[in-house]
């Protein structure tokens, strides 16, 4: 096996697509949105990327079948702009791996004609959230207005610690390639998988890309999560220990 | 020394062998089973694999002789199917090393005609176990029935965290090569080297491979372990501290 | 993207410049000094270095624009000797990366004619400091007198743990190349970003390089820091917890 | 700079020398012995090895001069067998680095005609020691008698965790090359730099190699250490806290 292997599952012809990334991260916001797009719209698996920079791991599915850690690219043709969506269960497990995988991801995106990148993610606030803001960062200042028009906020030097991992590199390396790259990030507590934050991001994407997706699945998931959080809060009021730790990535 | 070095100890001619792996891991279940096969059946050391991806370490034997960290392949000819058994004292110490070593392990297996892989291991339950179930995962759904027929259980999305290390990669990378790969894993507390779990896995293998091995050595070891655990439980009832930590990988 | 990429922003012609490095480190002393030189004197960005050995990260600026982790070289022409100043937000995140990046940094410095290297940094004392000493270390003993003449102290086998990271390697690898390399390090508590220590280092540089910089910005920053520390000390006298941990890299 | 660089300081012609290694490790026993040989006998620095696998660090000497992390080879001509002695302040900081550096160390040793390797080190016992035993491990069983004859003990499967780092690899990789390799290890508490353990190892070497070294410097150091330990024990008897942690690598 090579250091990074791109498997062409299907040939694909898209019309100047937007490349959208949603891999695991804070609140799994990006992953939730990307998977929701893939499930709710007519999507086709077109590429799979395997790499020794992913953890040495297989994931077991509902049939007891194990598949090697990898990332997936889906093509989605829409009335508006076509989409190339990257998702999966893993990020690189080492720094250089992040750079090399992101380089390959951008190669794939450019090979199907994408000139625009939207990296999705979450921004941790450390507190449970009432009102889900969506923050943005761009490689090219010209792009801010379009994002602000659909409700994305830009804040000075935020997120404070910068953006790490694939999303950050897509912005940084995409920008260096001359692509139009943006990160679109939902605020989230950081303690739980957060479908409410994902919904906020999705609403922004709908307006931005002129697409239309059903929210039912995401709303169901959000409702479940609300119930779990409600129960945990109740427990928290009682005599038993509980609190923040119990909320950590329940989903 | 090269990154990975395969030393041919003996030429080997096997009849479509099954490749069986048992390296150190949870409860050392896989290693115990593989070593038991090698010791109880007529086995021949055929390959040794050295690598800078193993820890920088020698192991000292009963004569004070040190040997460099390595993996061993044994050939076992049986009345049923021939076996190629991989065991040793080490797993790779870095992620890429896991991928590269597993690739070489599969090359060796294929070079002697193996088209079927059984990776052995343990699934930690976190509790002491009464009844030792054996779980399975496959690269190819078609293989489930044969395993279920000999008592292997398949559970939805279990083990929950996937399967990591060599066993996981043999399943994932073996599957990508078109090999028929399975993980067969004994439930084990995760706190001790577990010959009882190894015995449960071995019984499954006997039926699956139509082989016949004596259990005496493993039973002796299991009995010793029961005694140790018994003593520890007694201590645990008394005033002195004890408990879980004391059980961690006693063997 | 290559392992290390040097981007030529501007061609540069300098007169036997001194290469000065100030990257993040203890008390951010080196970085504060280097940035102060760049801001207070007439400087020109001439090279940017990107690398997979930097963290996989973008930093967001005041406009919401993200730029990929990188190091910057600035050229400064002075009445005295010209300067080539290296600064940035990151050090390498792995050991080999430190060596490889430092090698490239020295290549760049030599390519513009630098034969002298001054690596700036801080030496942690573990205590709040009244009187800011500046310590030195050299690749070539001949250079000590010049540094001692401007107030740099040399102490036997100090800093005790040696000098790690880019500053240490510039001294060690620069020395091996036959360059005249020195580390100039301000004593600092190690608990806070320390503009006072930076000022002490800057005063040494002024004398050494026969340059003249305004201190206003640094003094403002030092004053702010004094206020923060004062408040923290007050808090420390009161009933609320506080102390050392609260001082850690406030800035 | 290359991954590993061997600098030839002096040409060297030795008569079938024994290669002796003493790098930092448990109780710094190996390093103390190797340095003692170099200081007490007529030695000549012949090779220096630099590598990105060493920590990114310079060490500062008594003159304030910093030198890049490296290993040193010294040649010592004796009435008995000539010696090639490896010492230094660093071990590799990553697993693959250990393998690659050891490979180069063995190349150097073989290039000057060494066919015998003695790797020095300490075995931690976890307790303060009255009577300093010296343990051995060999690549080739035939060599045991010669070592036992000078007082080296061989114990079944000890050291239990094997031997890690350069010493272990010299045994393991040296053995694979067909060299006659041994580890000679002084028992030591593991809590302090241990000149008493070093003396025990040195006495073994004297007999084994038919050399004669003065012990004064080592004895002085041992006496100092005894005093420090005595003081610490006294403190330990008093009301103030103290004990094991205070002993950790005092020297």
Q: If you average pLDDT over every residue of chain A, what do you get?
A: 91
Interface test with A, best of B110, B121, B137, B138 (most A CBs within 10 A): B137
Asked if the model's pLDDT at residue C198 lies above 70, the reply is yes
- Using CA atoms, how far apart are residues A189 and A195, in angstroms rounded to an integer? 12
Q: Determine which helix (DSSP H) or strand (DSSP E) holds B148, and give its type and residue range.
A: helix B144-149
> Which residues are bridge partners to B65 per DSSP?
D138
Domains of chain D: 4-238 (3.40.50.10900)
Enumerate the β-bridge partners of residue A86: A21, A73
| Across D64-69, average pLDDT | 96
- D137 vs B1, B66, B94: nearest CB: B66
pLDDT over 80 (residue B232): no
Q: Using N-to-C axis directions, what is the helix angle for C195-209 and C29-40, rounded to 10°?
A: 60
Closest CB to C62: pick one of A140, A144, A157.
A157
pLDDT, position D237: 62
Residue C235 CA, chain-centre distance (Å), reads: 32
pLDDT band at B186 (very low <50, low <70, confident <90, very high): very high
**Residues in D touching C169 (Cβ below 8 Å):** 56-58, 68
pLDDT at C237: 62
The CA-atom distances, in angstroms, between C242 and each of B172, C193, C225, C229 are 51, 18, 16, 11
Please give the share of chain A, as a percent, with pLDDT higher than 90.
Answer: 78
Chains that touch A (3 or more CB pairs under 8 A): B, C
**pLDDT confidence of C140, banded at 50, 70, 90?**
very high
**B137 in contact with chain A, both atoms CB, cutoff 8 A:** yes
Residues A215/A238, Cβ–Cβ less than 8 Å: no
D19 touches chain C (CB under 8 A): no
**Does C246 have pLDDT greater than 80?**
no
pLDDT score, position B130 = 87
pLDDT of C117: 98
DSSP B17: P
The Cα C60–Cα C49 span in angstroms is 18
Residues B113 and B111: their CA atoms lie apart, in Å, by: 6
**Cα D179–Cα D184–Cα D185 angle in degrees, nearest 5:** 145
**ipTM rounded to 2 decimals:** 0.90
pLDDT tens, residue by residue, A52-104: 999 999 999 999 999 999 999 999 998 878 999 999 999 999 999 999 999 99
* Token pair for B125: 């339950």
Q: End-to-end alpha-carbon separation of chain B, Å?
A: 34
User: Chain D: nearest CA to C155, how far in angstroms?
Assistant: 6
CB contacts, 8 Å: B173 with chain A: 1, 68
Residue D241 confidence class, pLDDT cut points 50, 70, 90:
very low
Q: Is the pLDDT of residue C249 over 70?
A: no
- Return the partners of chain C (3 or more C-beta pairs < 8 Å): A, D
pLDDT tens, residue by residue, D178-193:
999 999 999 999 888 9
The strand pair at A4-8 and D163-164 is best described as unpaired
Helices (H), chain A: 29-40, 95-111, 144-149, 165-176, 195-209, 216-237, 244-247
C95–D50 CB contact, under 8 Å: no
For the ranges A87-101, B206-220, D110-124, D194-208, the lowest mean pLDDT is seen at B206-220
Sheet with D18-22, edge to edge strand ranges: D4-8, D43-51, D70-76, D83-88, D18-22, D116-124, D180-188, D134-138
Record: contact D162-B58, CB cut-off 8 A = yes
A chain contacts of residue C93, beta-carbon cutoff 8 Å: 95
Which among D57, D64, D94 has the least Cβ separation from residue C164?
Answer: D57
Specify the pLDDT at position A221.
84
Instruction: Mutation target for A interface from B51, B93, B96, B185: give the one with most A CBs within 10 A.
Output: B96
Does the CB of B164 have a partner CB in chain A at under 8 Å?
A: yes
Q: Where does the pLDDT of residue C243 fall: very low under 50, low under 70, confident under 90, or very high at 90 and above?
A: very low
pLDDT score of B241 more than 70: no
pLDDT of residue C231: 82
Query: Which residue from C95, C140, C159 is facing D55, i.e. has the nearest CB?
Result: C95
Copy the structure tokens of residue C118.
Answer: 């001054």
CB contact under 8 A, B96 and A53: yes
């Amino acid at each position: 096996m090579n250091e990074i292997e791109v498997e062409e599952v299907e040939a694909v012809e898209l019309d100047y697509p937007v490349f959208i990334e949603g891999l695991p991260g804070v609140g799994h916001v990006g992953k939730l949105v990307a998977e929701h797009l893939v499930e709710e719209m007519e999507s086709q698996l077109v590429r799979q990327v395997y790499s020794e920079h992913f953890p040495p791991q297989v994931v077991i599915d509902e049939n007891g079948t194990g598949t090697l850690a990898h990332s997936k690219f889906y093509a989605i043709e829409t009335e508006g702009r076509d989409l190339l969506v990257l998702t999966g269960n893993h990020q690189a497990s080492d720094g250089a791996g992040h750079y090399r995988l992101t380089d390959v991801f951008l190669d794939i995106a450019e090979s199907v004609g994408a000139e625009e990148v939207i990296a999705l993610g979450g921004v941790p606030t450390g507190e449970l959230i009432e009102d889900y803001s969506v923050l943005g960062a761009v490689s090219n200042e010209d792009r801010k207005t379009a994002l602000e028009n659909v409700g994305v906020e830009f804040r000075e030097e935020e997120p404070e610690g910068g953006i790490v991992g694939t999303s950050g590199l897509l912005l940084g390396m995409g920008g260096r390639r001359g692509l139009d790259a943006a990160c679109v990030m939902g605020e989230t507590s950081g303690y739980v998988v957060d479908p409410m934050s994902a919904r906020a991001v999705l609403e922004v994407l709908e307006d931005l890309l002129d697409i239309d997706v059903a929210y039912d699945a995401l709303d169901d998931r959000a409702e479940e999560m609300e119930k779990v959080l409600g129960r945990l809060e109740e427990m928290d009021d009682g005599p038993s220990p509980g609190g923040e730790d119990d909320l950590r990535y329940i989903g």
